Amino acid sequence: MNSGKGGADAVTVSGVTGRGTAGANLLALRSHNTALVLDLLRGAGAAGISRLELAERTGLTPQAVSKITARLRRQGLAAEAGRRASTGGKPPTVLRLVPEAGHAVGVHVDRDELRVVVVDLNGTATGERRRPLDLGAGAESVVATVAHEVEGLVREVLGGGAARVGVPQAGMARAAARAGAADAEGAEAGGAQAGAVGAGVSQAEVHEAGGGHTSAAQGGLPKPWESEAEVDRAGPSQAGVTQDGGAEAGGVRIDARQAGVTQAEAARAEGTRPRLSGVPSLVGVGVALPGPLDHRWGVLHRVTGFPEWDGFPLRDALARRLGVPVVVDKDTNAAALGLAVAGEDRSFAYLHLGTGLGAGLVIGGSVHRGARTGAGEFGHQVIQLDGPLCGCGDRGCVEALCLAAVERGEAAEAARVLGAGAANLVGLLDIELVLLGGRTVAAAPEVFVAGVAEVLAARARREGAPGDVVPVRIAPGGERGVAEGAAQLLLAPMFGRGDG
């Protein structure tokens, strides 16, 4: 989306494109511009960035930047970081992000282990819990265990319902005014406003055009353009859920279909105030686990080895219990998102070999989930027609062959098989980088990097391009990579990443 000064620029919001009468409203435009500023504040770190620099780098007018930063400061998301040396005239004030102003919980549900982290707006982990888990123990038991650990860690790190963590209650935890309501405040984006105003398209219609998945450009995140008085008039939300069924926490609004809870449902489920709704800085909970699953609705499919989970609405179950927005995705997608947010800007495949095998794909800077959010079932490509039976019911899958080799203590053979699958992926998608992760890889990282790299190098030689080998390396982030990536499912859209 071009937020420059030319009013004729095309505006795109989740597949809705036009000139002058674009399928976007002012609310969506403002959310996008706020996300741009937040992202630059985060990137500037403790040193900060001036309003003039923000205007130059976003293409917004200085007046628009001043309005946005004033709102962010009022809500505790930004603060002064000092002054720069003067080059003539008044020394410019620099602003920085306040990392502790918002937090998200990231949950990694593995087949035999649970890891929960709390991260701040910078993505820095401020607390962690880890414990054994049996994914086959049944939905009720697993959901109860996850909720218990999430609640315990939030109390431990953020102080429970009484926490204030540097953010005014009215500014971050209360329900904002109706979704899609007109905001009468003056033009914020200079000439770019013309690209969205007068479109006659409501926020709900923009949301529908995007297939029901909230993104920053759709006005779903965060709402610091609203004054505290406007928020107060809207009334406090119970359970972080707005009257129209949208969920709101930490200044972030996620449509009910993504958050998985309505006010009435939360009240019926608990009969009391939900347990995490009183933590003002908590944006929500991201949950990552093995697929396949439907990311849009937070519903699990036949998780390999655990077919009893087929059709279980995990997102809704946790959202009702916790009373805050919950987003569910595959472990590999969450890890890939975390890597992209951390600065990996090439198209890459993240291959996760732990208790299973899957891939997270980032293409053109965004996580690729596919039309039904099922992309990345890398482990179930068949490479040996008469191979061993896989937990998915097929034979000769990469996952089955890899895990069988690991069981025999043949890490080099497992790496060779993984390399064969990676070579197929490289040939199909022409990716630029392969990153490896997961506990099985972590047990012998050099062996796996060397084995996969050798297969990719052989493929490049066969194609006559020996100097153009796709690099292979261990993904940064270590054991917490998936859990921290799960937290980014909530945080990334605040900073302009619609693939959260």
Cα separation, 48 vs 91, in Å, equals 14
Q: Which pLDDT belongs to residue 278?
A: 86
Q: What is the pLDDT of residue 467?
A: 83
pLDDT of residue 448: 98
Both tokens of 454, joined, read 């050798």
Mean pLDDT of the chain: 77
Q: pLDDT exceeding 70 applies to what percent of the chain?
A: 70
Measured CA to CA, the distance from residue 221 to residue 497 in angstroms comes to: 10
Distance CA(4)–CA(43), nearest Å, equals 21
Please provide residue 395's backbone torsions phi and psi, each rounded to the nearest 5 degrees. -120, 145
Token look-up 């990137």 returns 43
Phi, psi of 410 (to 5 degrees): -105, 75
Q: Nearest to residue 67, comparing CAs of 49, 53, 83, 55?
A: 55
The pLDDT tens digits of the residues spanning 110-131 come to 999 999 999 999 999 999 999 9
**What is the C-alpha to C-alpha distance for residues 302 and 320, in angstroms, rounded to an integer?**
23
Q: What is the pLDDT of residues 209-234, one digit of tens each?
A: 233 333 332 333 333 323 333 333 33
pLDDT-based confidence at 305, cuts 50/70/90? confident
Calpha distance 459→470 (Å, rounded): 10
Q: Which residues contact 264 (CB under 8 A, 6 or more apart)?
A: none
Burial class (CB in 10 A: 0-12, 13-18, 19+), 150: buried
For 7, 9, 13, 26, 217, the CA distances from 192, given in Å and listed in that order, are 5, 7, 14, 10, 14
Please give the pLDDT value at position 197: 25
Q: Does pLDDT of 96 surpass 80?
A: yes
Measured between alpha carbons, how far apart are the two ends of the chain, in Å?
A: 17
Tokens standing for 193?
């406003």
Structure tokens that stand for 110 in this block: 């593995």
**3-state class of 293 per DSSP?**
strand
Q: Comparing 267 with 337, which gets the higher pLDDT?
A: 337
**Residue 84 pLDDT class (50, 70, 90 cuts):** confident
pLDDT class of 26 with cuts at 50, 70, 90: low
Q: What is the pLDDT of residues 265-287, one digit of tens each?
A: 444 444 444 578 889 899 999 99
pLDDT tens string 401-427: 999 999 999 999 999 999 999 999 999
- What per-residue confidence (pLDDT) applies to 132? 98
Beta bridge partners of 50: 94
pLDDT tens profile 153-203: 999 999 855 333 333 333 333 222 222 222 333 333 333 333 232 222 232
Mean pLDDT of the 288-303 span? 95
- Taking the C-alpha atoms of residue 375 and residue 228, their distance in angstroms, rounded to an integer, is 42
Sign of the Cα torsion 212, 213, 215, 221 reads: positive
Query: CB 182: neighbour CB atoms within 10 A?
Result: 10
Q: Find the largest Cα–Cα distance for the chain.
A: 77
pLDDT band at 27 (very low <50, low <70, confident <90, very high): low
Alpha helices in 329-433 (DSSP H): 331-341, 398-407, 411-429
Summarize the confidence of residues 145-152 as an average pLDDT: 97
Q: Indicate whether 247 pLDDT > 90.
A: no
Task: Tell me the per-residue pLDDT of 353-390, one tens digit each, with 9 for 90 and over.
Answer: 999 999 999 999 999 999 988 899 999 999 999 999 99
The predicted pLDDT at position 29 comes to 61
Whether residue 236 has pLDDT greater than 50: no
pLDDT at 304 (0 to 100): 83
- Exposure pattern of 26-60 as b/e (b: 16+ CB <10 Å)? bbbbbbbbbbbbbbbbbebeeebbbbebbbeebbb
The kind and range of the H/E element at 146 are: helix 139-158
- Whether residue 57 has pLDDT greater than 60: yes
> Quick one: pLDDT at residue 358?
96
